[in-house]
Structure 1
Amino acid sequence: MDRYELNGQSAYVLVVPDERGRTASYTLNLGSAAYADVYRPTVGSRTMQVQRVALQGGQLALQVSETPVFVLTGTTAPPPAPTPTPAPVPVACSATGTILREEWANAKGRTVADIPTLKAPTSTSQLTLFETPSNKGDNYGARVRGYLCPPLTGAYTFWIAGDEAGELWLSPDDAPATKVRISLLPGRTGVREWTKYAAQQSAPINLVQGRRYYIEALHKEATGADHLAVAWQLPNGTMEGPIPGSRLSPYVPTTTGTASTAAAVTAQDLVASAAPTETVTLSAAPNPLTTQTTVRFKVDVAGPAVLTLHDMQGRMVRQLFSGPAAAGVDQQAVLQAAELPSGVYSIRLQTASKLIHYRVLIAR
C-alpha cells in the first residue's frame, strides 16, 4: 500500500505486486474519514469504475489483486456518489454526396503556409468527388474539407496527388481542432498520380463504419498546371481514387466572415494564436530508444488531445493517444518501436489550442 498527500488530501494505491495471480483481504484505516471513493481500472477503457463507500470508524475493507485499486477520502458527510463522465457519443455519418471547396484568389507564394485561411474565402463551391478542377488559374490557395463516412471498419490508407503544393489532414473524430497531417506533396504530380512520392501515402489508419471523420486537403497553386485529388484504399483492398461523393458530406462553417473559431484554423494557426500563459509539456524516456519508450504529456487547460508519431517526411506512422486530457494531470502512452526502422521520428501533441513536437531517435 502506498499513500500520497496533496493539499491535505490523501490518496492510497493498493496492489498485490508479485504477479502470481494472488488476491488478499486488506483493511485500510482512514482515521476520521466519513467516506471513501474507490477507483478500479477497467480493461479497454480510459476511465475507471468509481464506488463511494460510507465508513464506520474510518475502516475500509478491500479485496486487493494485481490490478491496482485507488482510494480517495473525504472527511465530511458523503455527498452524492460521483457520476462518471460518459464518453462522447460518436456522430453518425450520413453522406450527402458533396464536399466543400474554398478558394482564396490572388494568393502569392508556393507553399501551403501561404494560404490565408484566417480570412474569408473569395469563393466557395461543392465538389461531387474529392478532386478539384484542373487548370483553373494561377496564384490561388484552396481548402477542400468535410466529413468522411467509412463504409467498413478497419485500416484505411490515403493518398494525395496534385500540382503544386498540398497537404492532407484527418481527425480521429469529427472535430477540425483534432486533425493531424497524414500525407503531403513534396513536389508536383500528374493528375491522379498517386505513387510518385512516398510522402503522398499515409500510414494505415483505423476507422469505424458509420462514424463521421473530419478531413481536410490544402492546395496552393502558383503558376502553370493546377489540380488536387485524394484517394483511399478500403480495408477489403478496394481502391477509390478520387474518393466518391457517396462517402462525403460538406463541412458547414459555424461563422461567417473571418475564420476565427478553433474549428476553422489550421494547426499552424493554432500554434501562433496559443495564449502565452498556456503550458503544454511533452517528453519521452528513454530517448534514444531500442524497443519502446514512455511518452508523457500534461496540459493546463482541459480538452481534447491527440498524440501521434510521424516520420521525417511528415507521414503519420501511428496514433498513440486520442481523447480528453484533464488539466494538470500527467498522462502517458507507450510507444512500441520494435518493428519500426531506425531513425529520427517526431511525436506530436495537438490540443484544442496548441501543437508541439518532440523528436525521438530509434537506434539499434
Structure 2
Amino acid sequence: MSRSRPGNGHRGLDRVVSRRRLLTGGAAATAALAVSGGVLGADLLSGASRPASRRLVESQPAAETAAPRQRTVPTPAPTSAPTPDPRYPDGPFVPGPDTRLWGVFEPGAPSNIAALAGVERAVGNPQAIHWYQSWSGPGSELDPVRLNNVREYGALPMISWEPAHAGWGTDQPPYALARLAAGDHDDYARSWARGIRDHGGPVVIRFAHEMNHGHFAWAAGVNGNTPEQYVAAWRHVRQIFLDEGAQNASFSWSPNIAYDGTTPFDQLYPGDEHVDWIGLSGFNGGSDLPWGGWLEFGPMFLPSYEVLVGYGKPMMITEVACTENGGDKAAWIRRAFTDALPNVMPRFQVVCWFNENVLVDWRVQSSPSSADAFVETAGTWRQRTP
C-alpha cells in the first residue's frame, strides 16, 4: 500500500482499493545482505533505561574492525566533539536471534508523536514506527524531526521510500526505473543518504516496496519498467548509501505476498549483497472488500514465506491488518501471534500493523476484543525464543 497526501504518511482510498487481490497464494524469491558495520546500542536494544514497553532488541556484538592505523604523533580528539549517545551508534538494525518487535503505521506519526496516543492507550507502545515518503511533492525532503521524534520515543524508524511523485499514478516517465538507474535522481538520493548518515541511529529503508504487482510507478510491467531495471535501480540507490557512509541504514526488500499475476520474486530480487531485510505485506479484507474473502494470517503469508525463508536472512512483516467483518478479528490476531508466527513462521522478527481507518477499520483497536487479543498475545510472542 502507499500514501496519498505528500509528506504526511497518509494512505488514500485509491491505493487501498488497488490491493484487491493482494492477499492470496504465492511463491517468491528473496534474501538479504548480512549487514556490516555497527549495531543498535545496548541501551536502545535492551531498554536498560527505558520502560519495558519501549524496549527494542538485545544488543549484538559489534562487527570485527580493522587494526588501528599507526600514528607518529598522537592526535587528541577535539574538545568540542559531543559525547556519543550509546543508545544510537552509527550502525544498522541488526537483530539478535530472539529479537521480536511490533510496530505501527499510524496517520500523523511521527511528525506528531502524540498521534500514537490512541494505539498506546489500547495496546501499549510500539517498538517500531513506520511511515511513507514519496520522492517528489511537498514534504519529500528528509525530515530530521521525524527521525528524532522516533529516536526520543525509543522506537525503530522504518520509512517506505517511494520513488515517484505522490498521487500521480503509475505513468510517471521521469521516475521510470531506467531513469533511476541512470542517475537522474542521484542528488536527491544522496541528500537522503547523508541525512540518515548524520542522524546516526538505525533506520530501515523500505525502498520501492510491493514492486511485484502493477499498482505503483516503480513496479515491473508499468511505466516502461522491467524486472531487470528494478534490480539495477535498487542496486544503484543502495550503492549511493554505501558511498555516502550511511552504514546505519538497512534496506528492506519488501514485495507483496505473491498471488496470480504478480511478477515472480526471483526476477526482482536485487541479490544477497544488496539487501539487508526481507519484508512482506498482506491484508485480510474479509467480507468488506473483494479480495478473496476471509483469509487467515497463516495461509495468507505462508506460501511466500516458505520461499523467502530459504535465504536465511532477517524477515519482517512490513504491513498487515485485518477487518472486523467476515470472521473473528480477535481470534485472527490470537492465532497469528500464538501459532502462525512462533510455530509456523518463526523467522518473522518484526510485525508492523497498518493502523488506519480507511475504507475499512484496519486499526488494531477497532474493537475492545481485538485490542485485548493483541495485548494478550503480541507481548508473549515478543518474549518467546524460537
TM-score range, shorter chain: under 0.3
Q: TM-score, normalised by structure 2?
A: 0.20
User: Higher relative contact order by CA 8 Å / sep ≥ 6: 1 or 2?
Assistant: 2
Q: Which has the higher strand share?
A: 1
Q: Which has the higher helix share?
A: 2
Q: TM-score, normalised by structure 1?
A: 0.21
